[in-house]
Every structure is written in C-alpha cells, then in structure tokens.
Structure 1
Amino acid sequence: MRKRLSIIFNKAPYGTQSGRELLDIALMAAAFDMDISALFIEDGVYQLLDNQQPDILHMKNHSSTFKALELYGIETALVSEDALIHRRLSQSQLLPVAQPAKQNELQSIIAQSDFVFML
C-alpha cells in the first residue's frame, strides 16, 4: 500500500527558503513511489505566480521547477480557491500546474495523508 504525503506550501516564495525546500522534498519523495499531493494555500499561492522576477532581489527563481511536478509523478497539485479570492488572483495569473480546489477538498486530502510537510 502506497503511503500518502501532502506537501503544503503556505508561504510566499521569497524571504524564506521554505518553498524551495518543500519543492525539493516533494521531488525527492517522488522517487520513493509515494502518493504525493502539492497543496498551495494562504500566501503559498504566490509560489505559482507566473513571470516572477526574483533576480531583482538577487535570488534564484525556483517557480519554473513546479512545472516538473507531473514529470515526477506528482499528479495532485491543488491551489486554494479561497486564497486566490482573498488575494485577488486568478487562475490565469498562475503557472498551469495546479487546479483550483475548495477548502473541504484540501482538508480531505490532508486528513487522508500518512505524512504532512509544511515549513
């Protein structure tokens, strides 16, 4: 039986390394044949903004790596509809790697997980 892992991105992409570290965890865990869900909630929705320019801050852009989720077998990538609405963002402003989800769907995935990572 495959173990279920939820990776919860809840912080903006710059200012901390948590987004990059969680992305690394997700990609490494994919090698262990786990059922992995990438969930973008709260300020974590900013991780998926398209056309980021972190070089202005002298930081490396890791957002394009999210496009590799499906290549690594991470088929469940969801972004909180509530977080998008609260931040006045639309799905069209994001990288096309995650589907919008309601809060109860996100909570259900987390509840069914054997492991949950959030930094």
Structure 2
Amino acid sequence: MKKIAFLFSKSPYGSSKCQDLLDLSLSISFYFEEIALFFVGDGIFQILKNQNPKKIFSNNFSKSFSVFKLCKVSNIYLCKNSLKQRGIISYKNFFMNTFILNSKLFKNKLDLFEAVINC
C-alpha cells in the first residue's frame, strides 16, 4: 500500500488551501494505513491550541486535527527549526502528540513517503 505524507507549510488563515488539505488527509486516512502529517514553516501554526481566528473573521478549523487520534494516525512531525524561528518553546501547546525533528531528520523522514501532498 502506498505511503502518503501531507505537508502543511502555510499559515492556517488567509486561504482555504490548508483546510482543504486537512479535509483531504482526513478522508484518505480511512483508506490508507500509512499516512503522516508534517508541519514546517508557518504550517506549525495549524495545530497550536488557543487560537482565536474570530478576531480576523475566520473559523477555527485547526481543532479538527484532533480527529486524527480517532483515525489512529500517530505519525505527526514538526520541524524543530520552524518552532524555534517562530519563538515557540513549549512543545505541549498542540492539539495532538507530535514528534519534533531537526531539519535533517525531518527531510529524511519525509523522503520515506512515496507521495507528498503540500499546502
């Protein structure tokens, strides 16, 4: 069976692309056993808790990431360098459990997947 990675690299608001990728990844998680979620750059903001997008007239779809627990998706990776660049020092502020990898390990892990879908 094909191994599919979803790469979230954009901020959660300002476009519907990231929400579309979230919806796609949730749908595919029911059909494929080996999927993973990768968060890099501004994409790390996708899974931060305590967001208040109503101030910018947006919906908070990020809470939907917690559904992956029900789908038994546990391969969730964050780029440590992206966290550091954005001043995020607490690794407990996310909707789900994650693996935090440096840039090299992050890329190596991503290269293990046959298909990568990016937003």
Q: Percent same amino acid at aligned positions? A: 22
1:3 aligns with 2:2: yes
User: Which residues in structure 2 correspond to 1:58-69 (within 5 Å)?
Assistant: 58-69=57-68
Q: Quick one: distance in 1 between partners of 2:70 and 2:61?
A: 16
User: Which residues in structure 2 correspond to 1:72-91 (within 5 Å)?
Assistant: 72-90=71-89, 91=91
Contact 1:5 1:34 in 2 (8 A): no
RMSD across aligned positions (CA): 1.4
Task: Specify every segment of 5 or more residues in structure 1 that has no aligned partner in the other structure, as ranges.
Answer: none
Q: Normalising to structure 2: TM-score of the pair?
A: 0.90
Change (3 A) 1:96 1:32: closer
Offset at residue 33 of structure 1 (A)? 2.3
Q: Which runs of 4+ in 1 moved over 3 A?
A: none
Q: Normalising to structure 1: TM-score of the pair?
A: 0.90
Task: Specify every segment of 5 or more residues in structure 2 that has no aligned partner in the other structure, as ranges.
Answer: none
User: Which residues in structure 2 correspond to 1:7-86 (within 5 Å)?
Assistant: 7-86=6-85
Query: Would you say how many aligned residue pairs link Structure 1 and Structure 2?
Result: 118
Q: In structure 1, the residue corresponding to 2:69 is in which secondary structure?
A: coil
